[in-house]
A and B are shown apart, each in its own frame.
Chain A
Amino acid sequence: QKEVEQNSGPLSVPEGAIASLNCTYSDRGSQSFFWYRQYSGKSPELIMFIYSNGDKEDGRFTAQLNKASQYVSLLIRDSQPSDSATYLCAVGPARQLTFGSGTQLTVLP
């Protein structure tokens, strides 16, 4: 049984700060990792994915993967109030994603 763990938060950061979201996973053989954003009552929206160890940057978002530690993180730079949402970590393969419970982020103006 795959497990994906996230700090449930809530996490509050001031506008313009860096938000750091963390995720650990149990299946050492996992190869693909995804970050989704979910606004209340809405569907998950893909932010980015990462397959290789190291960092992957996309605009204000950076995903970090450390397979040896079974750890994935998401950094949001220059956080905006519109970033306030629940962030879901998901472990692949894409045909059967396992989601964490999400971290609720609030960006304070």
Chain B
Amino acid sequence: EPEVTQTPSHQVTQMGQEVILRCVPISNHLYFYWYRQILGQKVEFLVSFYNNEISEKSEIFDDQFSVERPDGSNFTLKIRSTKLEDSAMYFCASTRTGGGTEAFFGQGTRLTVV
């Protein structure tokens, strides 16, 4: 069964450092997303990406965040200067279309900022 894969599974970084989280969406999916979940809290939408550009983003997705599809398979989330409050699980997801079809989530990257 096709799946969304994320690397690394766990990343520890020092405050102020840049991190890049990587995702390989399902191959025939056209929309890609990043969500985050701070420990014990809700899953929160960060950004959606379609046709090589951001289609929607939340208030959380400020200037320290960026996304990129550097090649035909990878989708990345970069956090430029990490803060302690960026510590969370980051989930990548993809959908075939942007409407009512279901979103499939990767297994997540646990980011710990120390």
Q: Write out, one digit per residue, whether chain A residues 33-60 have a CB within 8 A of any chain B CB (1) or not (0).
A: 0101000001111100101000000000
In the assembled complex, A98 has its CB within 8 A of some CB on chain B? yes
Interface size for chain A: under 10, 10 to 19, 20 to 34, or 35 or more residues? 20 to 34
A32-B100, A49-B100 are contacts. A98–B45 as well, Cβ < 8 Å?
A: yes
Q: Is the CB of B102 within 8 A of A34?
A: yes
For residue B97, which residues in chain A have a CB less than 8 angstroms away from its CB? 94
Report yes or no: B91 in contact with A95, Cβ–Cβ below 8 A: no
Residues of B within 8 A of A98 (CB): 45
- Which residues of chain A have C-beta atoms less than 8 A from B108's C-beta? 42-43
The smallest C-beta distance from B10 to any residue of chain A, in angstroms, reads 11
In Å, the complex CA distance between A44 and B33 comes to 14
Q: Which residues of A contact B103 (CB under 8 A)?
A: 34, 46, 94, 97
Interface string of B9-48 (1 = CB under 8 A from A): 0000000000000000000000101010000011111001
Q: Which residue of B lies closest to A48 (CB)?
A: B102
**Contact A93 B42, CB 8 Å, known A43-B91, A44-B91, A45-B105:** no
Q: Which of A46, A90, A94, A100 contacts B98 (CB 8 A)?
A: A94
Interface set, chain A 3-44, CB cutoff 8 A to B:
31-32, 34, 36, 42-44
Say whether A80 faces chain B, with CB atoms less than 8 Å apart.
no
User: Which chain B residues in 76-91 approach chain A with CB under 8 Å?
Assistant: 89, 91
Which 3 A-B pairs give the minimum distances between C-beta atoms? Answer: A95-B98, A99-B43, A32-B100
Please give the residue numbers on chain A whose beta carbons come within 8 Å of chain B beta carbons, in ascending order. 31-32, 34, 36, 42-46, 49, 51, 88, 90, 92-102
Known: A42-B108, A43-B91. 16 other contacts (CB 8 A): A32-B100, A43-B107, A45-B105, A49-B100, A51-B100, A92-B100, A93-B99, A94-B95, A94-B98, A94-B101, A95-B56, A95-B95, A96-B58, A98-B45, A99-B43, A102-B42
